[in-house]
Amino acid sequence: MGDLRYADAGVDIDEGNRAVSLIRRAVQGTHTAQVLGGVGAFSGLFALDPARYRDPVLASSTDSVGTKVKIAIAVNRHRGIGVDLVNHCINDILCCGAEPLFFLDYFATGRLVPELLAELVDGIASACRDAGCALVGGETAEMPGVYALGDYDIAGFIVGAVERDAIIDGHEVGEGDAVLGLPSSGLHTNGYSLVRHIAAERELSWNDVLPGTDAPLGDLLLAPHVSYLAPVTELRGRMSVHALAHITGGGLIDNIPRVLPSGLAVEIDRAAWRVPALFTALQEAGGIHPEEMWRTFNMGIGMVVIVPAAQADAVSEAAGMSVRRIGTVVPATAAETVQLR
C-alpha cells in the first residue's frame, strides 16, 4: 500500500512537463510586444495596441480538424494538423473582416507523447507566425479511458479584431454582384469521415495513388488548409468586398447562404473552374452521388468573395493566388439559395 502513482492510472506528470519544455521555444517565437507574461501562466494576457485601432470589435471562433487526425495518426505525420487548425480559425474570423490577434489550442490524448505534441505545436506556431498571430496558451489533457492509446484530438480558439465601421456582414450584397472563388489545397478539414469510410470499404491504402491523381492518397489528404488572410487582405485593398464565405462542411451549397441577405441567391457556374482530380477520384472510388459531393466537399473552392460586378474583371490574382469569377448574385426565386449550373 502507498506505492500507487498517477502514472499507473495512465497519466504521467513528468512527461507532461517534458512536453511543455519541448514546445516552449515554438510558442515564444510567436509572441509580439502585445503579449504580456510568458509560457506556463494560468492565463494568457494580450494588450490591444491603442495606436492601431480607432473603434475595435473583437471577433472569435473555435474549431477542430475533425477526423483528419486519424489519417495523420495512421501515417505518423502531425505538423500539418497544427497548420490546419490555425488556418481554419483564421479564415472563419476573416469572413467578418477581422485580422487575427491571438490563438490558443487544446490537445487531448489517451497517452501523451511529448514529441508528437511538439510536432503539432510547431505547425501551430508556424501558422501563427505567418499570420502575425500570437500563440498565448493552450491545454494538454492526458485522458486514458476516454481516448484510445495513440489517438488524440485537437481544437483551436482564436480572437481577432476589426474596426466597427469595417465589419463585413453581407448587408451590401446586391443583385448582379460577382461571386469570386479562391482555390483550396484539397479537402482542407472537412469530409474526412466519408473518405475514411470509402478507404475502408474499398480497402484502399494511404499509399495508393488513385486514378487521375499524382501523389499517394495520404499526401493529398494531409495537404494543409490554406490561409486566405493575404489574398483577402489584398482584395479588400483593391475593391469593395461585400461578403466572404469560408467553404467548410456543407460546401458551397450550405456556406454561401450564411452571408446572403434575404431575397438573394447565387448562381454558380461549375464550368468556371476545374474540380481537382482528388475529388473526382474519391467520387469514383466511393460511388458518391454528384450532389452529395457538392454538399460534403469544397470541390476546389476554399473561400468565396462577393464583390461589385464592375470590379470583378480587374483581378485574376491576389497574393500569388488565382482568383476566378464563379458565379453571380441573383434574386431568390426558388427554395435553393445556391443554384449550381
pLDDT given for residue 327 in this prediction: 95
Q: Kindly tell me if the per-residue pLDDT of 242 is higher than 90.
A: yes
Q: Are 225 and 185 in contact (CB under 8 A)?
A: yes
C-beta of residue 274 within 8 angstroms of C-beta of residue 254: no
The pLDDT assigned to 9 comes to 61
Coil/strand/helix, residue 19:
helix
Determine the length of the chain: 341
Q: What are 140-164's pLDDT values in tens digits? A: 898 998 989 889 999 999 999 999 9
Mean pLDDT of 225-247: 97
Say if CB 341 and CB 268 are below 8 A apart: yes
Asked if pLDDT for residue 176 goes beyond 90, the answer is: yes
What span, in angstroms and rounded, lies between the C-alpha atoms of 87 and 39?
A: 22
Average pLDDT over residues 55-59: 95
Residue 128 has pLDDT above 90, yes or no: yes
Confidence of residue 50 (pLDDT cuts 50, 70, 90): confident
Name the more confident of 12 and 62: 62
Name, in order, each residue with C-beta under 8 angstroms of 184's C-beta and a sequence gap of 6 or more. Answer: 226, 247, 276, 298, 300, 301, 302
Contact (Cβ atoms closer than 8 angstroms) between residue 126 and residue 83: yes
**By the 8 A CB rule, do 88 and 225 touch?**
yes
Could you give the CA distance from residue 317 to residue 192 in angstroms, rounded to a whole number?
29
Domains of the chain: 6-166 (3.30.1330.10), 178-340 (3.90.650.10)
**What is the reported pLDDT for 112?**
87
DSSP symbol at 113: -
Q: What pLDDT sits at residue 335? A: 65
Q: Residue 2: is its pLDDT beyond 70?
A: no
Confidence tier at 1 by pLDDT (50, 70, 90): low
Phi and psi dihedrals of 310, rounded to 5? -65, -20
pLDDT tier for residue 194 given thresholds of 50, 70 and 90: very high
Do residues 323 and 316 lie in contact, with contact meaning Cβ atoms separated by under 8 Å?
Answer: yes
C-alpha atoms less than 13 angstroms from C-alpha of 125 in its C-beta half-sphere: 20
pTM of the shown model: 0.91
> How does the average pLDDT of the chain come out, rounded?
91
Q: Is the pLDDT of residue 41 over 80?
A: no
| Helix, strand and coil in the chain, % to nearest 5 | 35, 25, 40
**Considering the chain, what percentage of its residues have pLDDT values greater than 90?**
75
